[in-house]
Amino acid sequence: MLKDHKPKKIALPILLLLLSSAILFACSPDFPETTATQSAATSPELSADPSATPKIETQVPTPIIAQRLVVLIAAPGGDAALTEQLSLTLSELAAVEGLDFELRPSFTLDDSTAEIKLLVALPPDPGLAALAQSSPATQFLGITIPGLEPGTNLNVIHDQEARPDMVGFLAGYLAAVATPEWRVGVISSSDTSQGVEQRQGFINGAVFFCGLCRQTYPPFNTYPMYAEAPAGASPPEWLALADTLIDSAVGSAYIAPGIGDESLIEYLTAAGINIISTTTPLPGFEEYWIASITADFSAAIRSIWPNLMADQGDLVLSAPLTITHINPDLFSPGRQRLVEKMLDELSDGFIDTGIATVPDSQ
């Protein structure tokens, strides 16, 4: 007979032991404690052998000071109107570039330029040439500073006194446009080339507009007229010249730069003569002030601003002429547009002043 074979039963204690061992093995960490101990023992930071510790040198970077400033140097007692004009222009342009603007009364070699991107200076010269040489990372711009030569980071803007014939031409044309019967005149210096060019430019500009400039009613005189004396003439001498224009029924007079003083303006306006000048209107004479002819330094700065921000120096240019302080009662908007169109063509070289060379005296 075959025997009935039945599986042997495994004792319950043995099964429980095996199950417990499996659970403990599954819950143990991936790396045994001995591995962590060995790693710690061989770590360079904990090693007792100095030669096993790598030497790490940390270099401290040189601090870089950001150029965040545009600075205008304008000494007290200077041209307040020009200072205000340039402050507004530079502040606006600086803000677009994310820069701050500062107006300062002075600047010396002892002052730091580390934070300055652009330094602009009005006369008197604060020593721009030396400053530019000592601070090559900063751009410098001198405005109407005599004798200043451009350099790698030094730039120069002149006014239009370098072309007195253009100033005179514009003044003559403007005077003829704004004055009935073209009864206009100029007072200038006779012993300087600038004065002679101003006078002849004025005459040419007036004739450019009115041709023969003939009057339709008396008094009949030859216009445009001029009166001149040496630049060093006394105030009474200038007043005597003013009588020449007054007696000839001149309606508008252009006072060339450096001529006379406030008494001359007062004398002419008391006789009913309106004024064109290169200065701002004198207080109390605004109603007789047709307009002022000035250099537009803001326009000049705007034209070279991208170059200055790109650190492209060695720039020289003349500020374009502009017409300011306009009295609309004497110089209507329609006549203004006529003169402005002529000025654009004059500046672009389409109109010639008719003056090639003028001797120092005439």
Q: What distance in Å separates the CA atoms of residue 258 and residue 254, rounded to the nearest whole number?
A: 12
Amino acid, single-letter form, for residue 201: G
| Residue ranges per structural domain of the chain | 69-158, 162-278+326-347
Residues paired with residue 104 on neighbouring β-strands, in sequence order:
73
Q: Which CATH number fits domain 69-158: 3.30.1910, 3.30.420, 3.40.50, 2.60.120?
A: 3.40.50
Q: Which of these, 170, 165, 178, lies nearest to 275 by C-alpha position?
A: 178
E strand map for 213-355:
225-229, 252-255, 274-277, 289-295, 316-318, 321-324
Residue bearing tokens 């751009």? 139
How would you classify the pairing of strands 321-324 and 289-295? antiparallel
Question: Which residues have C-beta within 8 Å of that of residue 44, sequence separation ≥ 6?
Answer: 52, 53, 54
Give the CA radius of gyration of the chain: 41
Q: What is the largest CA-CA distance in the chain?
A: 167
Per-residue pLDDT of the chain (362 residues; tens, 9 = 90+): 444 444 444 455 555 555 555 554 555 545 444 444 444 344 444 444 555 555 566 665 655 678 899 999 999 988 888 999 999 999 999 999 999 999 999 999 999 999 999 999 999 999 999 999 999 999 999 999 999 999 999 999 998 656 899 999 999 999 999 999 999 999 999 999 999 999 999 999 999 999 999 989 888 999 999 999 998 899 999 999 999 999 999 999 999 988 988 999 999 999 999 999 998 898 999 999 999 999 999 999 999 999 999 999 999 998 999 999 999 999 999 999 999 999 999 988 999 999 875 444 44
- Predicted pLDDT of residue 352: 93
Residues paired with residue 195 on neighbouring β-strands, in sequence order:
none
Residues 223, 185: contact at Cβ < 8 Å?
yes
Query: Do 69-158 and 162-278+326-347 agree at the fold level?
Result: yes
Other CB atoms within 10 Å distance of the CB of residue 151: 16
3-state secondary structure of 354: coil
Domain 162-278+326-347 in this protein, CATH class:
alpha beta
- Predicted pLDDT of residue 40: 39
Other CB atoms within 10 Å distance of the CB of residue 329: 8
State the DSSP H helix or E strand holding residue 186, giving kind and residue range, or none if neither.
strand 184-189
3-state secondary structure of 185: strand
Burial of 94 (C-beta count, 10 Å sphere; 0-12/13-18/19+): buried
